[in-house]
Structure formats: C-alpha cells, structure tokens
Structure 1
Amino acid sequence: MPAYSGPPSDHFDGERFFDPDGVPPKSLRSVLRWQFSRDRQRQRWPEWAPSPYADTPPKRVEGDKARLSFVGHASWLIQTAALNILVDPVWSMRASPFSFAGPKRRNDPGIAFEALPNIDVLLVSHGHYDHLDVATLSRLAAKFSPRVITPLGNDVTMRSYDDAIKAEAFDWHQRVELGGGIAVTLVPTRHWSARGMFDRNRALWASFVLETRAGKLYIVCDSGYGDGKHFRRVAETHGRLRLAILPIGAYEPRWFMRDQHMNPSDAVKALADCGAAQALAHHHGTFQLTDEAIDAPVIALAQALDEAKIPPERFVALKPGQVVEI
C-alpha cells in the first residue's frame, strides 16, 4: 500500500509517526488477549437501535451563528458563515474494509445522504475505518467535490481509492484557511492510526480547532486522556474555546483501551483541562467497537458530571439527528 514519505520531525521518524507525549499502540499479543476474552466480557448490543430524530439541514447558515447536526458516531455537519463542513463522514453500513464483516451500524445516519446540503469542506481526523470511510468520501467527491483537510499520509489512502477525492494533507499545528473567515488548525491528539496489519502509524492523526465567528470549536474525534497534557496545551495555545466535541465511547476493557480512547470520566477531565464553555459527546451508540453496553457511555457521563459537580447541560450527549445551535 502506498505510504507517506517526508522529512523526519519530532513526531515522524522517517517511516512512522509517533506521539512524543503518548504511548505506542498495543502489541498483537495484547490484541489477541483481548479478542480471546471478549466472549466473557462483551455486552450485547441490540441489532437495531434507531434514533427518534432525523435532521433536514438548511442550505446554508449565514453570519455569526453555527449549527451542529449530529450524524452519528464521530460524524457531524457544521454549518457556519455560509460554509458546510462535514467531520469524519461515515454513511456506510460497516466501519470495516469489508462489506460483509466488521462493526455494523445500529442506527441510520442522523441526516440522510440525499438530504445533505452542498458540502464545501471535509475534516478527516485519521485512518481508522470508523473515521476514514473511503466509500463515503468517494460519494461526497462525486456529488459535491469538497476540499478534504486531513493529517499527513491519509491523502495517500484517499487518492489510492479514488483520485477524485480532493485531499489536502497537513501536519500538526498547521492552520488552513477555509474561506468566509473560517480556519482550522490540526492539533496533536493521543491516538494512533492503521488500515491493516502492517501499516501502523504510517499516516498521522489529529484533532481540530475550528475558528468560527461563533467562537472556536475543539473537535476531538478520537483520543486517550493520558495526563491531560494535549487538552491543556490546546487551551494554552488557542485560548477561549466556545465548544468542545469529545469522545465518550469505545473504552472497555480499560486495560486495553485507556491509551487510545477516553471513557466518560476522562472526557469530563478533558473538558476541565481545555476549558471549553460547553461540550458535546460523540463516538458512542452507533458502531460497537469495544465491550461496553450501548447505553453505558451516556449513563457513565451523567455520573461523571455529577461527581465533578458540572451541570449536565454543559456536556450533552445527543442522538443522531439532533441539532445544537450557537
């Protein structure tokens, strides 16, 4: 498979990317240990868990307002300053390289593909299949021909599938003008990337700070918590954040997942560290990637907020199809 090629840096050794403040991905031995114990630990999800909501977005949102529609898992439509931006768009039935196996959707996307407005920009955080869905990217390229902003190396994956995907790859801390006074900066996050068995960390991963007229939005598509350094650095570097989108799911068993996925308690600490005025939860309830029950993240989030004495309205978990306006 074609891979990124570029000069070494403080997070790229010439062949693979790494997080100087993180840890390497788990070994194959650990993966097998988890997989062979899953029958005893894995909670059964319902075959279908539909959301009662469905969104039909407006064509554009003008001015200093921002409209955020939750599509499901880590997919969002953000509309602001007459720009339509999709984050980690996945409309496929499986988060998998196969159409017949792998994690399967348990609810429809909160916006039907046919109901999407004209899409200008895609933000794609990293190469895991529940975030980088080449089939969806190809459909979007054919219908809208949007810009695709992604970390280094993921552009190679996209173009090798469909050279019509207009992928632009950037490094951590690079800022990209999107038009209309909107810009996005790619920032480090505690994670890793792979598409297969032998390409670990051959492409970079990132979170996003999106500058809008409604304020700065911190979009964390996948991350472990660690010591919270990544979240505090965003607050120190980017100042006041209007909103954080934080993952709360895919966290059990903890011994295996803690370095790459936050649980709800970690996400509450991340909110305190980044200092955002408000947070929205995602990365739960659509694809069963790990062992916790389908409703466990939302229940645990309420408990974690109560323990931290944070009002529940400050950190809200939406269902696909629900909308927040700021």
Structure 2
Amino acid sequence: MKLRLAVKIGLGLFFLFLVLGCFLPLAARVTEQGAYTEKVELISDHFDGFRYFNPEVPETLPSPSSQAARWIWNRIFRTNWSEWPNQTDFLPGVPPVAHGQEGSLRVTPVGHGTFLIQLDGVNILTDPMWSERCSPLSWVGPKRVHQPGIRFDDLPRVDAVLISHNHYDHLDLPTLERLAKTGMPRAIVPLGNRDLVRSSEIPMVHELDWWQSVRLSSNVTITLVPARHYSSRTPWDRNRSLWGGFIISGQSGNVFYSGDTGYGPHFREIALRFAPIRVALLPIAPFHARDSEESQGYRQAIHMGPTEAVKAHIDLGTPVSIAAHFRVFQLGLDGFNDAVDVLSASLKDHHLRSDAFVVPMFGQTIDIPPAADVSLAPACEVHSIGWRPFGTCPPQYRFAEGIIPLSQHVARQTSCFMEACSTADSEMLPVN
C-alpha cells in the first residue's frame, strides 16, 4: 500500500513538472505570436487596459499555478471525482444536408460546444472541436467520452466559424487546421484571439468586442454578446483575451449561442436587444465546485448548471433551448448523468414542459420551423473598409481611436462613417 502511494505521488510530481515544462515554452510562443497584444486602448466596463474582466463579478479565482497543480493532483488521485464511462457506444448520424433552404433553420449538435447551424443558406460552426483531448498535449488532459455527432469528413462546406473564447475545449487548433484545408472558412472571434486563430492557417479572422456585429451575408448578421467567464491558454495569460457568446440573426430568426458563461443579468439584456430569440444553445455543466478551494459561488459565476440554464431560458423568453456542454469531457465533479437529471427536475420546479429544454442526441438534426415576420436584428453594416451606422447600432462602435461607449455615441453618431473608421478593420466581412 505504501509503495503504491509512493508511486502515485512520484507520478503526480512527474506529470506536474512535465506539464508546466510544456506550458512555459507554449506561453513564450503565444507571446511571440502576439496573440494577446492587440488590445483596445480605451478602457471600458470590461477592460482595464491590460486584462478583460466580468463587470460586477469579483475576481476570486485561485492563482493559475495552484489551479494547474490541483487539477493534475485531483485527476491522478481521482479525489471526489465521479466515475464516467471510458467511451460511449455511438454511431454518428446521417450526414447533414449541404445547405438549408432560404428561411429554414436547422441545428445539429455535434457535442460539447460544437453545433452546426444552417441558417438562410449559410453553414456556421460554433467552437468546433473534433480532437480526442481538450489539451495543449495530445496524450494528456481531459479525454473525449462521446464521439462527435458528425464525422468530420461528413461536414458540409463551412462558411463561418464562431469561437467564444480561447480555452482548449472551445478553441481547438488541430480542428481549425483541418477546417482551413477544406475551404478556408471565415472565423469570428472576441478581441485578442485573432493571431492565435490565424496560426491555424485560417486567413480571414474577424475580431469583435461585445455588442459589435458583422454581416456574414445579405441575410445573416453575427453579433458578439457578453458572457460571464474568463480566458487562458497557459497559467500566465489569464484574461488577456475576451470571451463572449453570439447572436446569429437571419430571416428565419435569431439563434443565441452563449459559449461558456455563468448566469447573470446579461441574458435579459440580450433578450431585450434581440427578441424574439428562436433558439438558445445553453451549457448545463459542469456545475459542482472542483475542490474545497474553489467556492461554489465562483463556480456558478463562470459556469451555468442546469438550474441556472433554466433561469436563462426563461430570461430569454422561453425559446427552443438546446443543452450544450455535457457528456463529452469530464471537466468537474459532476456525474455523467447529473446535469440531465437536475435539468429535468429544474424544469418541473418551474412548471415547464419536459421538452421545453431539449437534451439533444448528438448528430440528430433539429429542424426549427421558419418564423413569420422576423427581420434582421439591428446591427452596424460592415464594408471592406470599416464600420458605419445601420439602423440602431449596438452600444459600442469602433472608431480609429478605440471603442466609443454608449454614453458618448449619440453625439458622435453622425461621425461614424466609413472615412472615420480605423483601417485596422479593413479585413472585416464585406456586405454581399
């Protein structure tokens, strides 16, 4: 018994130093690439000039180095971790259609944060992840339990990729590299992520701040919206890039992909700006604190569990909500079925039908009937040389000198024309 314990301790220390040794050069490479150097100069309500933060949410996360050490220790010794299957029995579904018809809306859950959204003739992937592990290393880190719902080779041509933040389970460079070889999709990312995504050979990468929009086609607009989370690729780059969710607006309705987020008032604000929301893709796990040092309060601040997801569903106007972020990677203490069981109980507690919040079968396409009388959400029209007002713009505009907050935009609105826009925006999506 003592020998077994000594072996475990030795292995734990070995892997700790090994992983940290791999992270150190990775951090240097990220700095060399300048992945986090392109910052908005103007301080905002979620950027202090150096790091991004969640408004009205205290920063109480343990230090990155202690987090990494505790995660490795807990994984090796399985401290309080529930048993998950090594691999589920699963065969991918029927390959999706090449393109949905104009006015149609189809959502195919691939697993975790990955969805194929086919909207008004456009194919969009959220946080594409086809790798076996969500880790900087292919041989260590959380391993996939459920295979992707769509075989990679069965994907239709992808027109755009939406990246919510830079964590390895959402920004997977090997998958992006594979996508780049299939037809060069465009990528839309939060601020500070452009160079990292470009390193995957996807050349057209478009950065947005919260509430900024781009036109993907004449019928489809993409808007980055707030989320309560954080960013990091190494223990040393905490919150150097932004995170967020996305509203995809088309003639057939508005689709909301939240990305990773805690519950907060931003859901009501998103609903007010983009109602009606027809479909919401919301995470339901992980929702248990990982150890005694990580408070349950902070866990809930950055991740929604099923109970909070139902509250968000209500705040958003009870759209067709589809569960995300469950049964693929074991990222916390939750059991394999815990999130689904708690979701069912929470729906009953709120007197909602059991099918009000869909627990999808990965790979099974969900057809959303076309909505009548749904127009494009208010946005800023994007030209090849920058931004100009289009209807009622989001509360922040990009100017040559930085981001103009809502309180200043009324007096400045007449100057937000093409000639006033930064040339740095020259790679934004043109209007088709």
How far apart, in 1, do the equivalents of 2:90 and 2:79 lie? Answer: 29
| Corresponding letter in the other structure for 2:329 | F
May I ask how many residue pairs the two structures share in their alignment? Answer: 323
8 Å contact from structure 2 (residues 107, 115) kept in 1 = yes
Distance in 1 (alpha carbons) for counterparts of 2:58 and 2:96: 40
Q: Which residue of 2 aligns with 1:126?
A: 165
Contact 1:194 1:200 in 2 (8 A): yes
Q: CA shift at 1:13, angstroms?
A: 1.7
**CA positional deviation for 1:237:** 1.6
Matches within 5 A, 1:240-251: 240-251=276-287
Is the 1:51–1:320 contact (alpha carbons within 8 Å) kept by the matching residues of 2? no
1:285 to 309, 327, 331: 327
Which structure 2 residues correspond to residues 169-248 of structure 1 after superposition, within 5 A? Answer: 169-225=207-263, 228-248=264-284
Q: 2:385: which partner in 1? A: none
Partner of 1:272: 314
Consecutive unaligned residues of structure 1, counting only runs of 5 or more, are none
- Which residue of 1 is the match for residue 194 of structure 2? 155
TM-score normalised by L of structure 1: 0.94
Question: What displacement does 1:252 show?
Answer: 1.5
User: 1:238 Cα deviation (Å)?
Assistant: 1.6
Which secondary structure does the structure 2 equivalent of 1:313 belong to?
Answer: helix
Describe the shift of the 1:307–1:164 C-alpha distance in structure 2 as closer, same or farther (beyond 3 A). closer
Q: Distance in 1 between matches of 2:96 and 2:152?
A: 11
Aligned residue type for 1:46:
P
Residue 356 of structure 2: aligned partner: 314
- Distance in 1 between residues matched to 2:89 and 2:225, nearest whole Å: 33
Q: Is the 8 A contact 1:210 1:217 kept in 2?
A: yes
Q: Is the 8 A contact 1:231 1:270 kept in 2?
A: yes
Residues 165/46 of structure 1: CA separation in 2 closer, same or farther (3 Å cut): farther
Compare relative contact order (CA 8 Å, sep 6+) and give the higher one, 1 or 2: 1
Which residues of 2 match residues 8-87 of structure 1 at below 5 A? 8-10=42-44, 11-24=46-59, 26-28=61-63, 31=67, 39-51=78-90, 53-87=92-126
Would the alpha carbon gap of residues 55 and 291 (structure 1) be closer, same or farther in structure 2, given more than 3 Å must change? Answer: farther
Q: Do the aligned partners of 1:55 and 1:69 also contact (CA within 8 Å) in 2?
A: no
Shift of 1:240: 1.4
Does the C-alpha gap of structure 1 residues 239 and 138 become closer, same or farther in structure 2, counting only changes over 3 Å? same
| % identical aligned pairs | 37
Alpha carbon RMSD of aligned pairs, Å? 1.7
Aligned counterparts of 1:303 and 1:262: Cα–Cα separation in 2: 15
For 1:259-306, what per-residue CA distance to the aligned partner results, in whole angstroms no more than 9, with x for missing partners? Answer: 211110010011111213220001001011111111111111101101
Paired letter, 2:151: A
Cα shift at 1:64: 0.9
What is the CA–CA distance in structure 1 between the aligned matches of 2:170 and 2:358, rounded to whole Å?
21
User: Does structure 1 residue 112 correspond to structure 2 residue 148?
Assistant: no
Deviations 1:97-127 (A, max 9, x none): 1001011111211110110111111111000
Deviation string 1:208-248 (CA, Å, 9 cap, x unpaired) is: 111122211111111011xx311011112222111111100
* Alpha-carbon offset, residue 313 of structure 1: 1.1
- Per the alignment, in what secondary structure is the counterpart of residue 242 of structure 1? strand
Task: Mark the structure with the bigger radius of gyration.
Answer: 2
Contact 1:51/1:321 (<8 A) preserved: no
Give the number of the structure whose residues are more often helix, by fraction: 2
DSSP 3-state at the match of 2:254:
strand
**What's the TM-score once normalised by structure 2's chain length?**
0.72
List per-residue Cα deviations over 1:102-158 (Å, max 9, x = no partner): 111112111101101111111110000110001111110111101101101111211
Unmatched 5+ stretches in structure 2? 1-30, 290-295, 369-432
Which whole-Å CA distance do the structure 1 matches of 2:278 and 2:49 have between them? Answer: 37
